[in-house]
């Protein structure tokens, strides 16, 4: 398993009773960690007992500190060295469970850095044909929009499977390359299809309205080239359209909310983990990913989860009823 995440960052998570823009906030707890969506994906995979390889662009200015933080949690990195500083993502989590995120853009790079990244991907997947690869997170300024599409092209040429969890231009540019599956949330999918850059938080609209919108988005993503599209809809569930056009809805599990940040990354981790066992069992993989995401939101730190809890959720039908097994 390989996780490609070009735009690494430091995650700084702040916990407050409540947050309001334009006021002074005094967090009662603060934690700094290595971050980026791909790092969260790798964390989820390690919690599930896997040993993923993590590959990303590593800015020189903060290189040692970032590698130290990764090492402290048992993770290593296949770095592609670039100039600049590691960006910071600031996450404010309120006692209600609501989260506010400030994502900095990252260092400015370009075509040379893309070439170096793709060369490293080629080295890994050519040595391990059939690898399941996740492309996760935003792209730093200047990195060509088609980066994830180019990764998908390389992976599939070597018999692998690629999951793309990108947003906006990175997602749009990957679609013509035919990734095996894309996994945006509903806001990301609608924003990309509508050509907007705003990613509003998901509002708890009616289940029927959200489900209809998610299926419409998934069909739109497939229409632009994705082989399969899974659109996540927060606490409601996921809509997905398979490669033969079959549409399925899977409700989310009823869980205790501690921190919603990283739930989508955990979903990708669960999908990759399941596909590494059987790359043809897509329905089982989506069900496993849904359980992994449910377990992840019960943990206060993004990307972490209890694998025992995943097993428990897999014995319960989404919505809370115990499954017949």
| Rounded-to-integer distance, Cα 238 and Cα 216, Å | 12
- DSSP type of residue 83: S
Query: How would you write the pLDDT of the chain (325 residues) with one tens digit per residue?
Result: 999 999 999 999 999 999 999 999 999 999 999 999 999 999 999 999 999 999 999 999 999 999 999 999 899 999 999 999 999 999 998 998 888 989 999 999 999 999 999 999 999 999 999 999 999 999 999 999 999 999 999 999 999 999 999 988 999 999 999 999 999 999 999 988 887 654 444 455 588 889 999 999 999 999 999 999 999 998 899 999 999 999 999 999 988 887 777 899 999 999 999 999 999 999 999 999 999 999 999 987 778 899 999 999 999 876 544 333 2
User: 259-291 pLDDT, tens per residue?
Assistant: 777 899 999 999 999 999 999 999 999 999 999
Q: Is the model's pTM score more than 0.95?
A: no
- Going from N- to C-terminal start, the domains of the chain cover 2-7+38-88+106-314
DSSP string, 258-285: S--TTHHHHHHHHHHHHHHH-TT-HHHH
Beta strands in the chain (DSSP E): 2-7, 9-16, 29-35, 53-59, 78-82, 87-94, 99-103, 132-136, 161-165, 181-182, 229-233, 237-241, 247-251
> How confident is the model at residue 323, as a pLDDT?
39
The answer to whether 135 touches 18, Cβ cutoff 8 Å, is no
H or E element in which residue 218 lies: helix 207-223
Whole-number pLDDT of residue 300: 77
Name the architecture of domain 2-7+38-88+106-314: 3-Layer(aba) Sandwich (3.40)
Helix (H) or strand (E) segment spanning residue 84: none
pLDDT for 319: 58
Kindly report, residue by residue over 19-48, the tens digit of the pLDDT.
999 999 999 999 999 999 999 999 999 999
d(CA 6, CA 37): 10
């Amino acid at each position: 398993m390989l996780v490609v995440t070009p735009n690494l960052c430091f995650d700084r998570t702040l916990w407050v009773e409540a947050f309001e823009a334009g006021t002074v906030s005094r967090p009662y707890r603060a934690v700094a960690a290595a971050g980026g969506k791909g790092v969260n994906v790798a964390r989820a995979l390690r919690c599930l007992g896997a040993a993923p390889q993590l590959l990303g662009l590593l800015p020189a200015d903060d290189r040692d500190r970032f590698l130290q933080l990764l090492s402290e949690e048992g993770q290593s990195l296949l770095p592609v060295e670039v100039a600049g500083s590691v960006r910071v993502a600031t996450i404010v989590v309120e006692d209600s469970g609501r989260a506010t995120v400030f994502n900095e853009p990252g260092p400015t790079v370009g075509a040379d850095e893309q070439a170096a990244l793709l060369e490293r991907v080629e080295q890994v997947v050519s040595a391990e044909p059939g690898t399941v690869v996740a492309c996760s997170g935003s792209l730093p300024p200047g990195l060509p929009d088609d980066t994830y599409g180019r990764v998908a092209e390389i992976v599939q040429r070597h018999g692998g499977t690629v999951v793309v969890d990108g947003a906006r231009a990175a997602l749009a540019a990957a679609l013509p390359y035919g990734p095996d599956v894309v996994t945006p949330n509903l806001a990301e999918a609608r924003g990309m299809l509508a050509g907007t850059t705003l990613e509003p938080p998901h509002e708890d609209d009616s289940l029927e309205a959200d489900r209809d919108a998610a299926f419409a988005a998934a069909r739109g993503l497939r229409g632009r080239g994705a082989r399969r599209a899974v659109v996540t809809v927060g606490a409601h569930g996921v809509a997905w359209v398979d490669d033969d056009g079959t549409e399925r809805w899977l409700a989310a599990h009823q869980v205790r909310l501690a921190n919603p940040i990283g739930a989508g990354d955990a979903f990708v981790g669960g999908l990759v983990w399941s596909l590494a066992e059987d790359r043809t069992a897509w329905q089982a993989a989506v069900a496993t990913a849904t359980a992994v995401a449910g377990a992840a939101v019960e943990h206060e730190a993004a990307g972490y989860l209890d694998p025992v809890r995943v097993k428990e959720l897999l014995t319960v039908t989404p919505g809370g009823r115990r499954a017949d097994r």
